[in-house]
Amino acid sequence: MPLHIREETPADHAVIHALTEAAFRHAPHTSHTEQRIVDALREAGALAISLVAEDGGEIVGHVAVSPVALSDGSTGWFGLGPISVAPARQKQGIGAMLMKLALDALRARGAAGCVVLGDPAYYARFGFVPEATLVLPGVPAEYFQAIALCGEVPAANVHYHTAFETG
């Protein structure tokens, strides 16, 4: 049975929480709060896109996308993440498929662009690049990347939703 990507439903929330916790359990450079961030984004109504990857009825991946605020007032920008794949299913293209479909969904809704915080080598495959004019304060520039989906990349500081401060 092929992998099926769909929007999350309320019945998926507990599974997404457990999947996200498991996916980041042994990851370096993380606060291990990703599952709580997804929960807080959902509770705040700030999950602009929330897709699950399902294989044989089992959820094996998830991606969250939420709006970000830019200090120059630019609108239509989003932050991608967390993105989670079940540990036993990592390195099988599930994350890449979720990334592609999340970016396609942003393009379809006319988003200006998307930012991501993470491994430059991984995210560069999808067109993300460090942009000198777009800054996430306190983060090394090479780990904060952006992709313009329409228009120019603004000169601004980026602020994620307060759910990302969840401890």
Look up the domain containing 17 and give its range: 4-165
* CA-wise closest residue to 81 among 34, 39, 25: 34
Give me the percent of the chain exceeding a pLDDT of 90. 83
- Cα distances (Å, whole numbers) of residue 31 to 6, 16, 17, 87, 113: 28, 18, 15, 18, 26
Region 82-105 average pLDDT? 95
DSSP 154: P
pLDDT tens by residue, 55-79: 999 999 999 999 999 999 999 999 9
Question: What is the reported pTM?
Answer: 0.94
Run of H or E including 120:
helix 120-124
- For the chain, how many structural domains are there in total? 1
Region 111-127 average pLDDT? 94
Rounded Cα distance, 38 and 134, in Å: 24
pLDDT tens by residue, 26-36: 877 677 789 99
Rounded Cα distance, 96 and 14, in Å: 23
Classified as helix, coil or strand, 33 is coil
Residue 34: give its domain's CATH number: 3.40.630.30
* CA-wise closest residue to 82 among 123, 45, 117: 117
